[in-house]
Structure 1
Amino acid sequence: MKEFKQAFEKTPVFPTKVSVPYPEVQASSLEEVVDFGLDNLKDKIQPPFIIDDAGVFVDGLEGFPGVYSRYVYDTIGLQGILKQMENLEDRQASFKCVLGLLLEDGTTHKFVGECKGRIIHEMRGDGGFGYDPIFIPDGFDRTFAELPPEEKNEISHRGRAMQNLLAFISEKGL
């Protein structure tokens, strides 16, 4: 939520978090998960609203954990991921985020952000959450967890998706 508030601080939009339970879908892409969420929540939450889904996709694991990132993290944690990767040479990975926006007129829009990088061999840093301590973005020598939040939000997958969303909002005059 901090990322959203920081992204929207220079706009007239004031995001608030609303927790509405809905069934989780097992899908093959983040876009499908977001589409399901938008469709499922359209009669439960007053538009406009935004939902998001994100994951880390490891090249050497054929994109795993991908859409299952949260479940894998909750089940085996970072140590489990690092163990799965201990003999893996290809440690390239990317974080991806899809934001879904439902407007009052019922139209939906999706905004994608991606940050390429690599998974390191050990956890580093105290900031962030999830996979941040093991992911170094391309062009950096520090993990997401070692970067100040403002710097991370400029380059992160979610930050990039939010930049695309904000550009859309500005362009449409919403």
Structure 2
Amino acid sequence: MKEIIIATKNAGKAEEFRSFFAKYDIEAISLLDLTEPVEDIEETGTTFEENAALKAEQIAEKLSTPVLADDSGLMVDALNGRPGIFSARYAGEPKDDQANLEKVLRELERSANRQARFVCVLAVAIPGEETFFKRGVCEGSLIMEPRGGNGFGYDPIFVPDGFTTTMAQLSSDEKNNISHRSDAIMKLEEWIKQI
């Protein structure tokens, strides 16, 4: 079985990648699975692409192996695209999904515009080659009361277009079929088949 390193220490995200790559008979190994710890890469970029590349390239160089990194987040129209690249730390350090979600809901209290989208940018860094990117998007809207226990982050308040339930109310298979991460990974399919 082929392997790919996924540059994440987020258990929920790691599980989504494992599920996606399993159908291609590729084992997705997260940074949580490595015996030798990898230090966190500071996300100093100003775009999803820059942050994904920072993680993928630095870890690929350290491990001398192909690395896939993602940077993803929630972009809310009424908040001028915030939290965007700051989604994981929107309420400050340390990372706190519940605090982030509550901050977005507070900021939307007086807004009728609930349009939002999840964005995922994948960067694939292969030592000696140019890093390449794929971007995935899942359009939807936000509700004011969290619903559902499946998923993580902003999933409990995000209703994908065409659905009446939140991401957190969908089964893992349903979510994996429509998510921003799935959209980005499907765009990687040709490369995945080659490895």
Q: Settle same-fold status: TM greater than 0.5.
A: yes
SS of equivalent residue, structure 2 residue 135: strand
Deviation at 1:104, TM superposition (A): 4.5
Deviating more after overlay: 103-112 vs 84-93: 103-112
Partner of 1:11: 24
SS of equivalent residue, structure 1 residue 33: helix
Contact kept, 8 Å, 1:59 with 1:90, in 2: the verdict is: yes
CA distance in 2, matches of 1:102, 1:26: 18
Deviating more after overlay: 3-12 vs 17-26: 17-26
Matched, 1:53 2:66: no
Matched, 1:162 2:185: yes
SS of equivalent residue, structure 2 residue 45: coil
Number of aligned pairs? Answer: 172
Deviating more after overlay: 79-88 vs 132-141: 79-88
Contact kept, 8 Å, 2:53 with 2:69, in 1: the verdict is: no
Partner of 1:90: 113
Partner of 1:130: 153
Partner of 1:39: 57
CA distance in 2, matches of 1:145, 1:106: 38
Counting only pairs closer than 5 Å after superposition, residues 74-113 of structure 1 correspond to structure 2 as 74=95, 76-113=99-136
CA distance in 2, matches of 1:130, 1:4: 16
Contact kept, 8 Å, 1:22 with 1:40, in 2: the verdict is: no
CA distance in 2, matches of 1:60, 1:108: 33
Partner amino acid, structure 1, of 2:30: K
SS of equivalent residue, structure 1 residue 15: strand
Matched, 1:152 2:152: no
Contact kept, 8 Å, 1:7 with 1:159, in 2: the verdict is: yes
Deviating more after overlay: 64-73 vs 103-112: 103-112
SS of equivalent residue, structure 1 residue 43: helix
Deviating more after overlay: 13-22 vs 154-163: 13-22
Partner of 1:114: 137
SS of equivalent residue, structure 2 residue 187: helix
Identity of aligned residues (%): 37
CA RMSD of aligned residues (A): 1.6
Runs of 5+ unmatched residues, structure 2? 1-13, 33-37
Runs of 5+ unmatched residues, structure 1? none
TM-score normalised by L of structure 1: 0.91
TM-score normalised by L of structure 2: 0.82
